[in-house]
Structure 1
Amino acid sequence: MANTTPLLSQPNSAESESTPPPIEKHHPSLDSSIERYIGDFGWAQFFQILLLSFAWLFDAQQTFISVFTDAYPTWHCTSHQLGCNSVSNICYIPKNSWAWDWPSYTSIISEWNLQCSSSIITGLPASSFFMGCVVGGLVLATLADSSLGRKNMLFLSCLTMSLSSLLTVFSTNIWAYSALRLVCGFGRATIGTCALVLTIELVGKRWRGQVGVIGFFFFTIGFLSLPAIAYWNKGSSWRSLYLWTSIPGILYSMLVHFFVCESPRWLFVHGRKEEAVAILKSIAPPSHSGGSTLSFSEVSFEQVTWHNGNVYSAITMLMQKKWAFKRLSPVMVIAFGIGMVYYGMPLGLGNLPFNLYLSVTFNALSEIPSSLFTILLIGKLNRKFSVLAFTTISGIFSIMCALKGKECTRLQIGFELVSFFSACSAFSILLIFTIELFPTSVRNSATSLVRQALVFGGVFSPMLVAAERRNGISSYMVFGLVIGCCGLFAACLPETRGRALCDTMDEEERRESSLQCGGDVLA
């Protein structure tokens, strides 16, 4: 009689075939584990973000301080001989026929007799500052990803910027002054980047866009404080502006050193798990402060551990990985165009037929609605379309500033404000866009490179503005054409709205590959 026992019960095969195959254990990702701790928003996180955001205030002050210290002073005729009143350039009339409206020490132009110097010389200090930002970004940015971390890099950058600003008070000529502005820019290069990246890495995905924009508010406050400080010191030496902005910056650096937390993501990536968990416990909302330690013990750390090379490994990876380079290049081009407008327009306000203090104040105030717009709508904004739209609008209105005619002259300050508002909005969205495009292991380096492209655009702005004072070349026309053309590169980037942050290049590369194969992993 045939054996009716099912095959699976055969003695030789039953043990091996009746036992269900082992279920593969899926370790929680680092991102999901961190979300359990700090997905909600608590007071400890708010304190950290508030403290970090102050870095933007001092950043803004040093970025735009030359609008007042390097301003071309007003003058008046002391003699009506040789048609003094009909001449707009004092280099064409005798020195004894005119005088400055204010004491010569109120500006470097009048103190060092630079009124007839070339635009390269008069624009050198501001250009040196932006060139220092570019060099500093390239040299220092990757240290925040590799050896120093976000917090230590922020502390050293703030301290270097503030100390060099304080030493600027003792400048005796344009060359020493330009050299110190170069050092100031070098130190300043990574302040905004470290503050922004650290802020976003201390909160969950839900709050990423909102807290990122808080720093832009403080940048606005710093920008807005300059005309107030300058007006308060009206008639005083330009050196007083550096004193009033550098000393608070030094004190703030000490606060960063003692009270700011390091990024738990950065600590995890570098294998410092105990420190990361301790920081997460200290900043987590009370309801999450003690219940999620198990999730970190299960994280597969071979997936997130940093493989240490030299300090420039992060930049090397960004250049070698094809997908990363295809993202980094367009973002840097867009940033260059935005930088021409963002840094150039405030420097060119002295060329408009409008009160300098009021025009700088209006520009600073225009950043507030820009930040509000971004913080309220960042969760709903399509990154690609928003960057493209705002750069286009900025370019159009910047070109309109260059139009001649009586009616256009009256509307120039309005056109300038719309263009600057649009550039500010594009800048805010682009920085958040960049953070979402790159993983933790290279995020600070990528964001810093983008910011250096932004300030590299600012390198050319002072010279264009100075040249316009002499031969009427419209810097605003150039600004508009550059930002409009560069903004078109947004079409080359993938959309990132609503996606989770990756922590390693491999993780991001797998996501990129899945996307190219039609996967819906970015949702």
Structure 2
Amino acid sequence: MADTTPLLPPRPSNTRQPYASLPQAEAAPSATASLDDVIENCVGSIGSAQLIQAFLASFAWVFDAQQMFINVFTDAAPSWHCTGPGADASGACSLLPNPCGLPAGTWAWDRLPHVSIISEWNLECAGPSVTSLPASAYFIGCLVGGFALATLADSTLGRKKMLFISSLGMALAGLLTAASPNVWVYAALRFVGGFTRATIGTSALVLPTELVGKRWRGEVGIIGFFCFTLGFVSLPGLAYFNKNNSWRALYLWTSAPSLFYSVLVYFFVRESPRWLLLRGRRGEAIDILKDIAAFNGRDLPPSSFSGLDVFVGKEGKGNNSVGMYSTLRMLLEKRWALWRLVAVMAATFGVGLVYVGMPLAVGTLGYDLYLSVALNALSEFPAALITFFLIGRINRRAAFLGFALTSGACSVACVFLRGVEARLGAEVLSFFCACTACDVVLIYVLELFPTCVRNLAVSMARQALTLGGVFAPPLVAAARWGDGALVPFGVFGMVIVACGLSAVSLPETRGRGISDTLEEQESKDKAAAAAVAGGGDC
């Protein structure tokens, strides 16, 4: 039975009417109404339908996190011990950082060789360039895939298809990785896995936020961060459960559920009606809005959707023949948009180096690997909670700068602190601040760019974050082979501080609605600048 509750509540006498330009549900919006207003009038700012879609799309982050950090366990160098009579008569054997060069029979791994690629393929003497290759190959694949696929979600495929293809490709690559016969095939398949998953996080972030009203956009976007944390936290548990099994089992445990999830995406996730409208696909957009409205208990007459005609093909390219790189060209033609993109990418590069490097380097602090990684993963929960509850109240730019600078200071402190517990505490605090900075800056990017290039902008920001991840594995591996095991923490700290300062040049977006076109964004920016210059409330 349809809900008989009026579509719009009666206007209070002492409050601002959010639907001032839309006094009746059946009335067409005025020409100056935003797409936000029209969609909210049709389906509401948020409801059970949008929440279900948001959770379903955001769950992709669980598997994304597992694949991002899986090399921490599968590629870890196992502990070893000296064996045989007289193997350590001088005490020198036990002081070596690795068993490379020791005669056969004088040392042995503490566990069975199949627990790690290092011991299974006898890579103890291969050097950091080889042992770090699979992890670096994964992030290089993410980088290449991000540049190759970044525009597809904005131009031809859309958010849903891109999410499905990326999830399916990552799952299949993970299953094939479990069958790798040597380190070279393994590294190649990690590259493929990184390439295919490059746009998962972007599509899973943008799609839910385009289904809700601007009041809930930040909170809905953070659902993905919680899911990423869930994936990260579950990984040490899975690794500990399989610590005596082959490293291949960990890929199977993480890739098989991802394959099932991609099937759910194909059948149950809905496309962004906002994107469909800008591509000129009005009928599909209306069908989705009708389904969402019906699920939310709204019984709307056909006239409720008449105002959408104003926004169809608003970029002048609202058709299915949009070029693959048209959105990139649109962004590059605007100097202000290009500058924003460069500043955002610089900021996220520093965050990415710390975000990826910390879990890889935490084993050098001398603490239990599983517990150390679990503590890092758990620190993402308060980071996501803080962002969730405060995102509507904090200035994005100031919050990002504060967390980035604090992360850098704590990371550098790891080099100078004495005591395993003190260093671990500083490391966890640094990682927590980097996580929070990452959460804030991704919401910030959503608001800095209009719908027509938003997916591309978020993709490029994540690509810069991934580029930081490319440099982290060899840096950590080289430090493990030498005497400077703590040096990476100093590098991490200095880089995130230097890169984080690039955000100073970005405008504040708190409290402003998102735009749909570059021209609309320019107009809003000029109005905001004029309000600030005139001392008004922006």
TM-score scaled by length of structure 1: 0.92
Partner SS for 1:76: strand
Residue 164 of structure 2 is aligned to residue 151 of structure 1: no
Instruction: Return the letter of the residue paired with 1:268.
Output: L
- Choose from 40, 56, 59 the match for 2:61: 56
Check conservation: 1:133, 1:452, Cα contact below 8 A: yes
Instruction: Kindly indicate whether residue 454 of structure 2 is the aligned counterpart of residue 419 of structure 1.
Output: no
Q: Does 1:429 align with 2:434?
A: no
SS class of match (1:99): strand
Map 1:163-178 onto structure 2 (within 5 A): 163-178=172-187
Contact map agreement 1:39 1:205 (CA 8 A) in 2: no
Tell me, yes or no, if structure 1 residue 497 matches structure 2 residue 507. Answer: no
Which of 435, 449, 470 lines up with 2:460 in the alignment?
Answer: 449
**Shift in CA distance, 412/487, structure 1 to aligned 2, threshold 3 Å:** same
2:64 partner letter: D
What's the counterpart of residue 478 of structure 1? 491
Deviation at 1:339, TM superposition (A): 0.2
Q: 1:34 aligns with which of 32, 39, 45?
A: 39
CA 1:235–1:297: 2 relative to 1, 3 Å: closer
Report if the CA contact (8 A) 1:154-1:195 is conserved. Answer: yes
Give yes or no for contact 1:35–1:205 (8 Å, CA) kept in 2.
Answer: no
Query: Aligned equivalents of 1:64 and 1:297: distance in 2?
Result: 43
CA contact (8 A) 1:306 1:441 kept: no
1:283 lines up with 2:292 in the alignment: yes
| Counterpart selection for 1:296 from 282, 307, 313 | 307
The residue aligned with 2:416 is: 403
Give 1:213's match in structure 2, choosing from 218, 222, 238.
222
Instruction: Describe the shift of the 1:354–1:70 C-alpha distance in structure 2 as closer, same or farther (beyond 3 A).
Output: same
Mapping for residues 89-128 of structure 1, pairs under 5 Å: 89-128=98-137
Deviation at 1:35, TM superposition (A): 2.2
Distance 1:352 1:48, change over 3 A: same
For 1:460 and 1:478, the matched residues in 2 are separated by 11
Q: Does 2:233 match 1:224?
A: yes
Pairwise CA distance, 1:46: 1.4
1:459 alignment partner AA? V
Look up the SS of the partner of 2:108 in the other structure: strand
SS of structure 2 residue aligned to 1:189: coil
Aligned amino acid, residue 51 of structure 2 = F
Contact 2:279 2:313 in 1 (8 A): no
Q: Deviations over 1:352-385 (max 9, x none)?
A: 1100110111111100011011100000010000
Q: How does 1:265-276 map to 2 (within 5 A)?
A: 265-276=274-285
Q: Which of 326, 339, 344 matches 2:357?
A: 344
- Match of 2:253, as an amino acid? W
Match for residue 75 of structure 2 among 70, 74, 77: 70
Matched residue type, 1:282 = D
Shift of 1:205: 0.6
Offset at 1:402? 1.4
TM-score of the superposition, structure 2-length normalised? 0.89
Q: Are the aligned partners of 2:340 and 2:506 in contact in 1 as well (CA < 8 Å)? A: yes
Match of 1:5 in 2: none
Spell out, residue by residue over 1:418-464, the C-alpha distance to the aligned partner (whole angstroms, 9 max, x if none): 00000000000100100101111110011000000001000000001
- Does structure 1 retain, via aligned residues, the 8 Å contact 2:98–2:124? no
Please name the residue that 1:3 is paired with.
none
For residue 38 of structure 1, report the CA deviation from its aligned partner. Answer: 3.7
Partners of 1:301 and 1:272 in 2: CA distance: 7
Q: For 1:486, what is the secondary structure of its paired residue? A: helix
Q: Choose which of 406, 412, 422 in structure 2 pairs with 1:393.
A: 406
- The corresponding residue for 1:375 is 388
- Distance apart, 1:91 and its partner CA: 1.8
Q: What displacement does 1:313 show?
A: 1.1
What are structure 2's unaligned runs of at least 5 residues? 1-29
> Partners in 2 of 1:452 and 1:160 — Cα distance?
18
- SS of the aligned residue for 2:81 comes to strand
In the alignment, residue 272 of structure 1 is paired with which amino acid? R
Pair 1:80-2:88 in alignment: yes
The residue type paired with residue 483 of structure 1 is I
Following superposition, the deviation at residue 27 of structure 1 comes to 4.7
Query: In 2, distance between residues paired with 1:276 and 1:314?
Result: 21
Encode CA deviations 1:59-89: one digit per residue, 9 max, x unaligned.
Answer: 0010000010000100011133453234333
Q: Structure 1: which amino acid aligns with 2:56?
A: L
Is 2:198 the partner of 1:185?
no
Equivalent pairs, count:
498
Structure 2 CA distance for partners of 1:54 and 1:441, relative to 1, 3 Å: same
Judging changes above 3 Å, is the alpha-carbon distance between structure 1 residues 36 and 56 closer, same or farther for their aligned structure 2 residues? same
Q: Which range moved further: 100-109 or 296-305?
A: 296-305
Once the two structures are TM-superposed, the CA of residue 297 in structure 1 deviates from its matched residue by: 4.8
Give % identity.
Answer: 53
Q: CA deviation at 1:349?
A: 1.6
Q: Which residue identity is paired with 2:501?
A: L
Change (3 A) 1:297 1:57: closer
Amino acid at match of 2:392: G
Aligned pair in 2 of structure 1 residues 522, 240: CA closer, same or farther (>3 Å)?
farther
The Cα of 1:129 is off from its aligned counterpart by 0.4
Q: Does 2:373 correspond to 1:360?
A: yes
The CA deviation string for residues 157-213 of structure 1, in whole angstroms up to 9 with x for no partner, is 000111011000111111100000000000111001000000100111111111111
CA contact (8 A) 1:496 1:522 kept: no
Residue 243 of structure 1 corresponds to which residue in structure 2? 252
* 1:458 correspondence with 2:466: no
Distance in 2 (alpha carbons) for counterparts of 1:302 and 1:110 = 57
Going from structure 1 to structure 2, the CA distance change for 1:470 and 1:302 (only over 3 Å counts) comes to closer
When structure 1 is superposed on structure 2, of 374-383 and 293-302 the one drifting more is 293-302
CA distance in 1, matches of 2:298, 2:309: 18
Q: 1:300 to 1:459 in 2, by over 3 A?
A: closer
The offset of 1:511, in angstroms, is 2.2
Cα distance in 2 between the residues matched to 1:310 and 1:152: 17
Name whichever of 292-301 and 331-340 sits farther off.
292-301
Q: Is the 8 A contact 2:279 2:312 kept in 1?
A: no
Report the secondary structure of 1:175's partner residue: helix
